[in-house]
Chain A
């Protein structure tokens, strides 16, 4: 399922850092949560390679690690893009049509909520209230806030980030 672009690209330095984290927590009961949190801090997400290293290091089964990693929404199994898009699906945004905004972003990028584009440029998530209900529906890209969103604005906003990228590369 992973495209080549999303293949695991962990470095030796990251692996060393993870091993230190495991060694630090190993003998503490209930250490899986802090290890997963710090591992996500190191890698940005928790792919099978990272979870296997954790299971091996802590002497527990991969299915136990995976169970915890999929239980808490703070953990991500997919890499995050350079630009992280969050569409708020809190009550106010939802009644103002945020689901249609989310659907349009999914459609435009060809990914589902929770996934990352193959080029690693965008990742898409939905979130609950961002505290800007007056601007509902709200979409965030990185630190940028877009309020009173409608599906037809999605193209133009995404184009801006894509062009920035194109400009930087050329």
Chain B
């Protein structure tokens, strides 16, 4: 690799040719503040916060886009640089809606952090402020352009997902971010992945918070409130309480939810196992001739909506299995209610998920098994963290507690659902045993890891099984195009809409650019799941006693009529525009 030698603040630095000053500095542990830049997502030199001085040159340059040169002398901390950054931040604040005290991003806001660091006067420039109404049209995301700094990180995140429903509109002072023809996000072909939210440096994008409805249910004596948590929540919730990234906080998570007032706290890994039982059965049937192949996984609601909008011709390829969230809702409001003599109307089901698209999924009519939604509220990891803080629960001091019966036990297969490749690996573990009862294989390492597209071929019971895994919808569409053109041929494809899968979902705790620059969230969070899986004795979904129980007592067997009624669904074609 060709490198160039330069100095930054007098410190000799060697950096790959073609890299930017910002990359070279951060690789050498020299921090340059930035705002519009977001590693792997946005690099456009728009905000001018990252300006630096180059010796022998008059103007300041934006470090995030300026390439390193041989012999370059970079100064990141001169009076001129500091004054420029301060003025830039003051100008950005001139028309910012500074209701910071109640902003959900307070204390986790990149703009606030910069304002504090540079000692700005937030009212130095009195910019014209025209309060624009919030976009609340979707079931999952709220856009508040009064807090938007026009960094365009959300636009870049949406474009990376190959969706681009949001863009920059008009110019100059009239510039704002929104959907075409000023329509609301809810009317656009947005899939709800929420990657725009986790890319936003401040409070312009948030999930549609539903914590108030959950508090109401908890304080209603007529409601039995049950929570269940998705596999990835244990690996990320701790971040909201300053625990190290990648901490498995399962026990404290359960304890905290119990202290919020939940009647029961269940483990959604159970319905991840249930999904695998149904999905592996469906795959085997499709391979035996029921077709069509490849079969796409259907547990990610962002991905499902993406197919419905952009590839409706691939709908027959989507597995008909509901997602683990929706299966759990259906199990609770059918089997569980009947067994415990509860009227489904009195059961209030709260899922905790890493995802904003799940807020859309709970309201999908095709998912209903009765005349009510099977899951009442889907809360993101961030919303759960806010409820825990509101209840003044000292999270890190909590004891580790266990999930409640009867949905306590699950297998490693269900656990790894939260990371890209996890659903595929869990399905392979079970399908391999279905096709060959002597098969002991549980580690399918080829489908693990953070690569956007992974491929593998396994020979199981003499049959060659070709699989692929994509995370990030840009990668998914690349894979679909190859399947459509006939260039690639697989039996099964797993897709998760968010890069890295649910552990990096749009509902997860937000980490700033400075953290994302040095930590690969996707890898570190996933490690917490794979480490836990490796320690488990039950690693294949069919080994779970809870799975055996629900089939024996209710659903009979995977793919049977009752299982189909409650655990499978249909899809709808939606427009591209």
Contacts and interface: CB of A to CB of B under 8 A. Distances in A.
Interface of A: 48, 51-52, 55-56, 60-67, 70-71
Contacts of B179: 63
Contacts of B164: 60-61, 63-64
A51 B171 contact: no
13 contacts: A51-B181, A52-B577, A56-B576, A61-B164, A61-B167, A63-B164, A63-B165, A63-B179, A63-B180, A66-B167, A66-B169, A66-B181, A67-B168
Given A51-B181, A66-B167, 12 more contacts: A51-B180, A55-B577, A61-B163, A61-B164, A61-B165, A61-B180, A63-B179, A63-B180, A67-B167, A67-B168, A67-B169, A70-B171
Contacts of B165: 61, 63
Nearest to A48: B181
B180 A65 contact: yes
A51 B169 CA distance: 14
B339 interface: no
B171 A71 contact: yes
A56 B189 CA distance: 13
Contacts of A52: 577
Nearest to A72: B171
Interface in B42-91: none
B166 interface: yes
Contacts of A56: 576-577
B478 to A, nearest CB: 14
- Secondary structure of the B contact surface, majority rule: loop
In the A-B complex, list the 3 residue pairs whose CB atoms are closest, starting with the nearest: A61-B164, A63-B167, A66-B180
Contacts of B163: 61
A70 B577 contact: no
Contacts of A71: 168, 170-171
Taking each of B163, B170, B181, which has the highest tally of chain A beta carbons within 10 Å of its own beta carbon? B181
Interface in B548-577: 576-577
A170 B577 CA distance: 44
Contact of B167 (A48, A51, A64): A64
B170 A62 contact: no
A56 B170 CA distance: 22
Contacts of A67: 167-169
Interface residues of B toward A: which range? 10 to 19
A152 to B, nearest CB: 32
A70 B180 CA distance: 10
Given A48-B181, A51-B180, A62 B171 contact: no
Contacts of A70: 169-171
Nearest to A51: B180
A63 B167 CA distance: 6
Interface string B163-206: 11111111100000001110000001000000000000000000
Contacts of A48: 180-181
A63 B169 CA distance: 8
Contacts of B168: 67, 71
A117 to B, nearest CB: 21
A67 B169 CA distance: 5
Nearest to A73: B171
A153 B214 CA distance: 64
A51 B163 CA distance: 17
A65 B165 CA distance: 11
Taking each of A48, A56, A61, A65, which has the highest tally of chain B beta carbons within 10 Å of its own beta carbon? A61
A74 to B, nearest CB: 12
Interface in B255-279: none
Contacts of A51: 180-181
Nearest to A61: B164
Nearest to B178: A63
Contact of B166 (A55, A60, A63): A63
A63 B184 CA distance: 12
A62 B577 contact: yes
Interface in B137-182: 163-171, 179-181
A145 to B, nearest CB: 29
Taking each of A52, A56, A66, which has the highest tally of chain B beta carbons within 10 Å of its own beta carbon? A66
A52 B171 CA distance: 21
Taking each of B163, B165, B576, B577, which has the highest tally of chain A beta carbons within 10 Å of its own beta carbon? B577
Contacts of A64: 164, 167
Contacts of B180: 48, 51, 61-63, 65-66
Contacts of A65: 180
Nearest to B182: A66
A72 B241 CA distance: 47
A59 to B, nearest CB: 10
A106 B166 CA distance: 32
B150 to A, nearest CB: 13
Contacts of A63: 164-167, 179-180, 188
A67 B165 CA distance: 11
Contacts of B577: 52, 55-56, 62
A14 B279 CA distance: 49
Contacts of B169: 66-67, 70
A48 B188 CA distance: 13
A71 B176 CA distance: 11
A21 B577 CA distance: 21
Contacts of B167: 61, 63-64, 66-67
B130 to A, nearest CB: 16
